């Protein structure tokens, strides 16, 4: 089914740190993922994983149960979707380090995003997280250990003292932690290869990367979600990584969640262009340079941010992106195939509205979000800020205190109900 795609593996990213789907919805949508050309899932559990014991505090109140995790994996197997779990182990640790009991492991005391790499307890913590996740994912060929956007690394007190020593650098500090985590994974789970996001590695000189030992331990995932990514620059970066000793490389594009922190509707054209650029990147390197591609679908920019596009809202974009990667482009026949998969009479690529109702799982959610985003929100804003009765007698001050002049209700209510 791979068509002319240069990507042997095509993984759909499920970001569960916001609006995580019910298992019943995944049962509906996994067959569609498979039909569209996906053959794997990158599941970023964050606080939706059912951590036990001393890690139980990491669980969200509505976290999946162990039996639900097993059901998700069973559904994935039924639909020929290989699961790669993702556990953050360095940056984006807010869901862990926000807890008072673990706050002492922060790199910078005031910021809960980055783990202190100097503390032995830090490695023990992420090791315990990894072991619990792997226990429910026996036989996983890959484990993604994150390590992206490690903000404020080197700014903690322990790091400042360490960096004062000759030859110590932030790059060396980063590589030492990545190496420690990867070594732990391989020692405890020798059949599982660690994956890492590549952004913290990009600017590290070739000789330092080579000497670190990291290239023999992990497979980097080059990510870029822009519509005009630098194809030549990515080709050079891949060449650098291969020279450093990385045996396998991965790409990561986006099908949603990458164009605005509070984006409600998915700009399909942007994400289509992103896939087309990645196809060009793959064409610039030797065959099989890229092991596969992950189509990321971010649900929040981080643990504390608002939601961006819901998964059902992003399904048409995912369909366009997967089929484009599978077929090597987005010609009219590919568009027709996508419309058939989604049950959409005419799919709009450049705007947010498509002609006719769709019939894919979750299409009713897309219809509602479109109605709110394109129509209801503007009319409500108009009324709240322009109507003299609302601004004068039902302002935010009045609404907070829940009082209004009864006479004014007869002026406000008819407009509110239109």
Q: Which of 376, 397, 398, 395 is nearest to 387 (CA)?
A: 395
Does the annotation count 71 as an active-site position?
A: no
d(CA 160, CA 170): 10
Q: Which of 240, 188, 241, 234 is nearest to 215 (CA)?
A: 241
Token digits of residue 155: 């700014």
d(CA 234, CA 282): 9
| 327 HSE (CA, 13 A, CB side) | 18
Q: Which member of 149, 155, 239, 269 is catalytic?
A: 149
Pairing of strands 106-108, 111-115: antiparallel
d(CA 235, CA 237): 5
Residue 287 φ/ψ region, left for φ over 0, alpha for ψ in the -120 to 50 degree band, beta for the rest: beta
Backbone angles phi, psi at 29, to 5 degrees: -95, -25
CA distances from 293 to 25, 126, 178, 217, 384 (A): 24, 26, 22, 19, 45
DSSP letter assigned to residue 48: G
d(CA 163, CA 157): 10
Active site residues: 149
């Amino acid at each position: 089914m791979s068509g002319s795609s240069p990507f042997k593996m095509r993984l759909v990213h499920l970001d569960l740190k916001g609006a995580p789907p019910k298992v019943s919805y995944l049962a509906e949508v996994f067959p569609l993922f498979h039909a569209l050309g996906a053959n794997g899932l990158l599941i970023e559990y964050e606080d939706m994983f059912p951590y036990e014991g001393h890690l139980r505090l990491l669980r969200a109140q509505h976290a999946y149960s162990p039996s639900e995790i097993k059901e998700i994996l069973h559904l994935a197997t039924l639909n020929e979707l290989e699961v790669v779990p993702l556990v953050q182990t360095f940056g984006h640790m807010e869901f862990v380090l926000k807890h008072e009991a673990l706050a002492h492991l922060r790199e910078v005391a005031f910021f809960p995003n980055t783990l202190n790499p100097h503390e032995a307890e830090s490695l023990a913590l992420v090791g315990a997280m990894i072991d619990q996740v792997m226990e429910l994912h026996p036989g996983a060929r890959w484990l993604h250990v994150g390590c992206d956007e490690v903000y404020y690394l080197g700014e903690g007190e322990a790091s400042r003292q360490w960096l004062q020593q000759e030859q110590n650098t932030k790059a060396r500090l980063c590589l030492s932690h990545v190496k420690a985590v990867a070594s732990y994974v391989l020692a405890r789970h020798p059949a599982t290869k660690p994956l890492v996001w590549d952004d913290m590695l990009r600017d590290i000189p070739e000789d330092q990367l080579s000497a670190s030992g990291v290239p023999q331990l992990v497979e980097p995932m080059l990510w870029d979600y822009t519509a005009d990514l630098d194809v030549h620059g990515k080709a050079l970066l891949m060449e650098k990584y291969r020279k450093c000793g990385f045996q396998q490389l991965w790409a990561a594009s986006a099908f949603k969640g990458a164009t605005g922190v509070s984006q409600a509707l998915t700009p399909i054209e942007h994400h289509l262009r992103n896939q087309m650029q990645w196809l060009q990147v793959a064409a610039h390197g030797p065959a099989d340079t890229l092991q596969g591609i992950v189509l990321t679908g971010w649900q929040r920019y981080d643990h504390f941010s608002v939601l961006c596009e819901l998964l059902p809202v992003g399904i048409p974009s995912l369909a366009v992106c997967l089929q484009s990667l599978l077929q090597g482009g987005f010609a009219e026949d590919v568009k027709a195939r996508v419309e058939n998969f989604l049950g959409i009479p005419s799919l709009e690529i450049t705007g947010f509205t498509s002609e006719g109702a769709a019939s894919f799982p979750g299409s009713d959610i897309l219809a509602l979000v479109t109605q709110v985003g394109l129509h209801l929100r503007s009319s409500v804003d108009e009324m709240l800020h322009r109507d003299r009765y609302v601004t004068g007698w039902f302002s935010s001050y009045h609404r907070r205190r829940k009082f209004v002049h009864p006479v004014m209700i007869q002026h406000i209510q008819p407009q509110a109900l239109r």
